[in-house]
Amino acid sequence: MERLLSLRIALGKIALTVLGLAVGDSIGRERPTVQIGASTLVWLSYRTGMGR
């Protein structure tokens, strides 16, 4: 799960989302937001000791 939901992936998705919006792409809120939120929460759970 760490490979799919890492902070690095979340930052990449944020950058690509901003780039997509800058060039006029139609990006729905479910597309990157859910994955970025999940990646951030997994990272926080491991940093706070709540992860496995």
44 conformational bin, left if phi > 0, alpha if psi -120 to 50, beta if neither: alpha
pLDDT computed for residue 51 by the predictor: 66
Predicted TM-score (pTM) of this structure: 0.61
Closest among 48, 45, 19 to 32, alpha carbons compared: 19
Q: Which domain holds residue 29?
A: 7-47
Strands (E), 1-52: none
pLDDT computed for residue 11 by the predictor: 87
Stretches in the chain below the pLDDT threshold 70: 1-4, 29, 31, 51-52
For residue 1, being part of any structural domain is answered with no
For residue 52, being part of any structural domain is answered with no
CB 13 within 8 A of CB 31: no
Domain count, the chain: 1
Average pLDDT, the chain: 80
For residue 30, being part of any structural domain is answered with yes
